[in-house]
Structures are given as structure tokens and as C-alpha cells.
Structure 1
Amino acid sequence: MNPLYFDHCASTPPLASVVRTVSELMTLHYANSGALHRSGAEALKLVERARTVVANALGARPGEVVFTSGGTESNNLALKGTVAKSRKASKHIVTTAIEHASVFACAQQLEAAGVRATYLPVDERGIVSVRDVEAAIADDTALVSVMHVNNETGAIQPIEEIGRLLEGYPQVRFHVDGVQAIGKMPVRWREWGVDLYAASAHKFQGPKGVGFLLVREGVELDPLLIGGGQEDGLRSGTHNLPGIVAGAQALRLAVESTEARRERMYALRRRLIGHLRDIPELHLNGSESETASAPQVVNVSYPGMRPEVIVHMLEQHGVLVSTQSACSSKSLKPSRVLLAMGMDAHRASGSIRISFGDEHGTDEIDALAERLKTAVAKLKPLERT
């Protein structure tokens, strides 16, 4: 029995064309893009062509695309680079209680270094209030960081409304972790007033180890990595040429097919939620509303059951899912995101994340539902009281 891979929020299976591109580039274009000889110049030309592809796909200028190793580095560069560059005597950042660890832990690290941080609450849907964002802004605020789509529940944050609000605070930079949004949601970062938008290629069927940060023209950052001065000095280090080119290819294809994918995935999400109504032990976390939740993820809890037990039981039945985010999946603590949504530790400790992609159709969703029912029936006697 082939396993059903429902862990797309952790990582997506790369496109066959992406795999071919990586292989070809590693074979034919192995020169360092910083070298002065012809092969180095050809490699650099491919990097710059990929930069233009990314820019065109997301309505940016090529000079606004900074290639990184992925979402974590992009988010760290945005937060730390903005704070370090800020000329304010004291420094303050505003973020939310539900951010990915690469933002949340980064904010905590900045706090330890003397930066003041405000972590905004969310409602029962997992959505932050624009009014709370406004109330948190102070004279020394350097940055507001709010993710586009939550990586555990799929909750869509009011990015456009926050961007409109921050138009009245021109000295405050607006950073958005867009890792879970690209290819599933429209991304109009410039129109929304976003200054810094982070992405990771392996979330949209590209290779691991490559991502980018869109940096609006005129926004200044201090680099995290210094050395050779690549990426206009913002990210030193030899270019990951195969990853950059293949990632740009995957991005273009993902953006071109966003609307069709979004419509199809919402239909699958509705079908799955319908099946879940027949499994009373499982409780949906977040909103059913398609205006409040992204199409590719469903988060459910089995209160009283340890999440790793659920995951391993499902794996025995040929279903691969996650607990919390992949970065936090080995933690035995209740989900920080679900606790922030007002759930008790009992429910927040027994959650699993089901996330799907292009290879899934109604047959796979129906098979998933049947295997969930079977797994839950076997787990029922183990339920904690």
C-alpha cells in the first residue's frame, strides 16, 4: 500500500522538471558564479535570469529579490536586519503569538538583546486584529511582522488591512512570512504595502535549501552573513545555482496555476471537513470559512490522545501527517498556536495537521477519511480521561 502523503505544509514533492533542472545545472554549470572566467559568468547570468523570473512572478523589481537558504533565513534577515538598521534610540517590534518559530524565536532572541517585543493575541479562528496592531505601535516601533498564512491551521491574516494601516506609519517596516501562501493564495505584496516578504522554494514544489526575501526598494537591512558581498552585500555566500534556478522555475509554475489550484484545493478541503463530521472524536481547529482559512490545510485535535501516537497509528495505515509544524513536531508541549486561539492544553496537545497538494483528488481524500476512521477506532481504547 503506497502511503498517502498529507504533509505538504512541511515540504512538497518537487516537480519532475525541477529535479531535472537541478541535475542538469549540477552537471553542466558547476562553476562559482563569482568567478571571473567564462563559466563563472555563465553561472552568474543564470542567477540573474532566475532573479528576473522571481520578480516577474511576484510583481517585484529584480533588485528587490534577495536569494537565501529558505524561509528561516529570510525571516531572520528581515527581523534582525531591520532592527539593526533602525536609527531609533530604543527599538520595538510587533508580531503575533502564532508566528512560525523562525519569527517567534527570532523575536525572543532580539528581546534577550534588549529589543522590546509585543506578541499580539488572535481570536478563536487564529486571526490577529488590525486594531490590536494599531494599538501596539509606539514611537520606537521599527517593525511589524505578521505571517500571511499560518503554518499549523491555515488561518489567513489581514495583510492588506495591516498594510493600509501602516501607510500612516512610514517609519515602521512591514514584514510578512509568506512561506505557506505562495501557490495557494494571491500574493500582491507591493499593492498591500509590504516591505519584506519571505518565501521558501520547497513549499511550492521546488528544491530544499533555497528561498528568497523580497525587499522593497529603499528599505535598508543589515546583513546576517558577511563575506563575499553576494546579493548586493545582503547575503554573502556562494550562490546555490541549481537551487536558485530550479526554485525560480517552481515559483513561476506555482504562481501561474494558483487560481486553479486554490479552487480545486478548497473543494478537497470541504470534502475532508465533511468526512470529519462522521468522526466525532476529531475536532476541527480554526474556521471552516474559506475567507478565513487557506485551502491546503486542515488541523484537527483528538483531545486526550498524544499527537505522536496519532501520527504513528496513521502511518501504520498508510497516511503521513504532521503534529504542529515540522520544525516543532518533536516537541511534546501543547501547540503554541492552538493555545493562543483559546484552546485548553488537553485539546492543544492532541492536534494533527493534514495538508495536501497537486497529487491529491477526491479519491485520496476519501481514502484518507477511511483510514482516519480506522485509526481512531483503534485508538479509542487508549484515550486518556
Structure 2
Amino acid sequence: MQYQHINVPEQGQNITIDERGDWQIPLEPIIAYIDGDGVGLDVMPVMRNVVNRAVEHCYKTARKIHWMQVYNGEQAAKLYDGDWFPQETINAVRTCKIAIKGPLTTPLGGGFRSLNVALRQEMDLFVNMRTIKGFSALPSPLKNPFLTNITVLRDSSEDVYSGIEWQAGSIESEKMLDFLCEEMGVTRLRFTQECGIGIKNISKEGSERLVRYAINYALKNNSNSLTIVHKGNVLKFTDGAFKRWGFALAKKEFKAINHQNGRWLLIERSDQEPLIIKEVIADNMLQQCLMHPEQFDVVATTNQNGDFLADMLSAQVGGVGIMPAANLNNEVAFFEPTHGTFERIAGQNKANPSSSILSAVLMLKFMKWDKAAILIENALEKTFASSQVTFDLAPNKDDSNNSISNNSITLSCTDFAQKVIEHF
């Protein structure tokens, strides 16, 4: 395929998906990347260097990633006459199937509400994945942060984040209030003057595809349990339906049977213990993740619940700034750091590349290049433990939760990445 500004590598092969839906990863795949904006230009090149060195260390010349740069955000606007979101980027990512990106800014004074949201919506990346794993050397409010090792699979296509709402006092809001009260017989609105209205939409199709993805993920990754998190005790026809549709799908498509406790399900496996499918009310889940995070493995939940849960879990193990993420569907996998562009330190070689590096680890695990993924993950943990860190992880003398030594050495972005490589 010919592109206007994208240069396709001369070597390497595209990833394919077979008739059964299994991803076929060649030994030398072409993977798209977007450097992004702000500190993306600092962290993304060092991430690629860490990945390249790990792949070479583990597989010698047998495997290699061929990187293909594509554009979004400020870089795209410069190349494509002000177009922040070029269509050829979407086409290239769909062809490559796997991509990794840095943080993106959003145009001021109009344009997309969020380039990240626009990417997810344009490509229907309905699964937001956050893998939250504790590192014992990082600051944490928990005594044993390493007990936290939870993958949150959150729907990103529905719920209150779909953006269906009307401003208080607007004509549209007044029409909706009139319709609810006069046509639908709603009597439980305590205040109807100056009242903003939003719609929470949860569909059977959206719920089923998220839970189906989560069950397949849990089975393929030999997980002990899948927990469906919801607020169905109050929101019976949205969150409650999400849970009911999810359980029904597990029984119909995966032959799940009732657990002996009468609340959960089991999916039998021939070579290991059954996969347990649990259900937990959202507010109780937040409490349990603080007190006993070790009881959870994979989580499937709705959009807003997943947002709250993933950020809380990240705070337990070092903060959102070092957490990886992915946005996925059955045909495209997009990996990304969870932090923003941090314009105030952009270009200073100070930014922490850990989130980008761990997003690459998540990508390598998705590709089943586990040897390289585990190598990087272990090297990163050794680097944290050596108290050689970027400025944001350097201990504050008043911070009793920070286990990094007060004699720590503050490294630049590139020097930190080099220390990771030295621990291979």
C-alpha cells in the first residue's frame, strides 16, 4: 500500500488473523508506532531501544521487530496541513494490526474532544486493558503492593462516557425533562430546575462482546478467576443487565456451570483447576482491592466502573504514571502509556519511560514473545530496586511510603532506559 507520509519498512511482514480468530505473528513483524506529543518524543525512542535490545538478547537474529512510524497529534498536523487525525494513519494501523503510541495532546479551540477517544471510537477499540502489577521497590500506601497483580478489562464503547448528555437549562435538557416526567411517568426527580441530564447506555451486544473477550483472555492466560464488577444492586437494568448478560453468555458459549456457593460460575479445564467467574458490587470491589488484592486476577467491567477501579489500583502500586494500557478489539491492538504529555518537562530528557516500556511488555506478551517481555519486566524491577530512578520516583524525605533509598541516584530518561538494559 502506498502512503503519503508513511514509509513502509523494506523488510518484515504484516501480522495476520486466521479464520479461527487466532493472531499469526511472523518472526519479523511490522509494528506501527506513534511517538506522540510532549514527553512522547522523549520516552518512545528509548522504549523502542529497550525492546530491540531485549528481543536481540532473547532471540538473537531469529526474531526482529520492524518499526513503522505513523502520525497523529501535533506531528500529524505539521505533515498533513493541519490534520491532527489523518485517515492514512488509521489505514496503516489496521494493516499492521499492532501499534504502540505515546501520549497525545488535543487541539485547543475545537477539533476532537480527545485524540485518544477519537482513536478508540474510529477503530471501535471496545476493550481498554490495564494491567496493574505491584513492584516492591516503588512507593505505595500498601504494606505488600506486590500482592496486586490484576488485569482490568473495561468496556470503552458505552456507559455514561458515550457522551449523551444535555446541559442544565438548555432547550434540549428541558425537552428531555418534560418527556421523562410527562410521557414516561418519572416521579423520582427531586430537582427539575437547572438539571443536567445524561444517559447511561448498556447494551446486550456491548456487554456480551466485552465478557466474551474477557473469558477468552482469562482462558488463554491460564488465569485463576474472572470477576465481573457492576453496580447492579442499584442500577438493575444497566449494570445489573451487564452482569446477567455476562453470566448467560458464559453458560451458553463456554459451558459454564454453577459454583457450589450459588453465586459464581465455573468453566472446567482439562489440565488445571476450573476458571472461576465471580461477581462483585463496584463499591465493595474498591474495598476488597485495598484489603485483599491477591484474590483477584482478571476483571471485566463497565466503562465508568473500570475507570475508577483501574486508577485506584494504579495508585496502590506506584501511580498512573508508570502503568501500561492497551485498547483492543478482535482485529487491532493499540498499546499506550497511561500518562499525559507533561509539556512542562518535554524535551528535557527527564521523563520516566516506565509506562511506555511496560506498555511494550504488554505488547510482547500479547504477541506471545514472553521471554523478551519477562526479561524487560524483571530488569525494570531490578532497576527500581537499585534506587536508580527518574526524578518523579526519587524519594521525598517526608514520604514514609517510599521504599526507594534516600541515597537514590536520579537518572535522565535515556540513562534510566540504559540501566534497564544493563540488567538483562
TM-score (norm 1): 0.28
Of the two, which has the highest radius of gyration? Answer: 2
Structure with the higher strand share, 1 or 2: 2
TM-score (norm 2): 0.26
